[in-house]
A and B are shown apart, each in its own frame.
Chain A
Amino acid sequence: MVKLNLQIAEHRFEVTTYAPELADFLSANYLPADASEQPPDMTLVIHDGYGRPFETYDVAASASDGVLLFVRSDYRIDVDEGFTRASVQVHDTFALKHAMMNLYSAFAAQRGWGLLLHSSCIMEREQAYLFAGPSGAGKSTVALLSRPRPVLSDEATIVKIGEGETVVYDSPFRSDSGPPSRREGVPLSAIQLLRQSQHIRRQRLPQMDGLMGIMDKVFFWAADVAQTQQVMRLCHKLATNVPVYELQFQKNDRFWEAISS
């Protein structure tokens, strides 16, 4: 049996698993939690041997008798509605990565704490800049082209949406830019919705268009309407707290000039 204490943004997760391969995956991709006397935010038990290999991203979410259930062909999550204890069953490490994203996004939304956005996020002069767009729009290219600026996420950005402060945390939910290293949050300066173009141009969007752009990028699978309501409130708060821009973008690093100007 392996016991791990993991840190995701401001939260601590105590994980128990009997599968060494899953424990290795978590140790390699997540920050260890700070030594603390505080109880963890959530206790997880993770099992392997579940289901079939990945088939589709669709997740069936449901709620009954105080338990929320998230099921895909390659994983199953049972979590209490207070999000304090969960059982996670997975087929392999790919399923584990997605199950953890699913669980964390539901946890963060349920607490009214924040959202997980399908995007990359880069740090420049102690400020975070988020880049979202449809598949192939250039989210990962932005991360590559922005080197040596620190990459806070290349796939799923963790955004804390507080009263008057919006902060991004280094994300463990990555495709290929290595594990997170920063423990502190970075203030989110702007959201860029990417559009490939022959030009480089950055234009501020009306809040309503920003809201729709954000809603389109949230990772979440609602088990009930109350959760969707919470997610929509958070999207609205984010769209009013942080400016949203359309960034017409060529695949070179000159877009930073448009952002900094």
Chain B
Amino acid sequence: MTQYVWSEDCSEAVEMDDAWVILHPGQFTVTKVNETGGLCWNLLREPSSPDTLTAALLSSYAITAEEAQADVEAFLSQMREIGLIRHAG
């Protein structure tokens, strides 16, 4: 299964108010994500598959497997689009 990981030079998400913020020194950008996005982001430090992330969401939040899967897909697709993650390997 496809695995994803942080793009080069990305760093861990930091908490600000109620959101998580990803700092990207390579691009000098900041990206705001919600709490579940922050959880996924910190797991993506190591190569992770969508299934791993979905399982992590299911163990932390009272949501259905379908909801978790949809959240993970939306998150990964946005992160790919803005260049914060890449295919691992």
Which residues of A come within 8 Å of B, CB atoms?
206-208, 211-212, 215, 225, 228-229, 231-233, 236, 239-240
Contacts and interface: CB of A to CB of B under 8 A. Distances in A.
Given A225-B9, A232-B23, A211 B17 contact: no
Closest 3 CB pairs of A and B: A228-B25, A207-B16, A229-B25
B11 interface: yes
B25 A240 contact: no
Contact of B17 (A207, A212, A236): A207
B28 to A, nearest CB: 6
B16 A232 contact: no
A215 B25 contact: no
B32 A208 contact: yes
Nearest to B14: A236
B17 A232 contact: no
B65 interface: no
A215 B26 CA distance: 14
18 contacts: A206-B16, A207-B16, A207-B17, A208-B19, A208-B21, A208-B32, A211-B16, A211-B21, A225-B9, A225-B26, A228-B26, A228-B28, A229-B9, A229-B11, A236-B16, A236-B21, A236-B23, A240-B16
Q: Which of B19, B21, B26, B28 has the most CB of A within 10 A?
A: B28
Nearest to B19: A208
B30 interface: yes
B25 A225 contact: yes
Given A212-B30, A215-B30, A232 B25 contact: yes
A207 B11 CA distance: 19
Contacts of B26: 225, 228
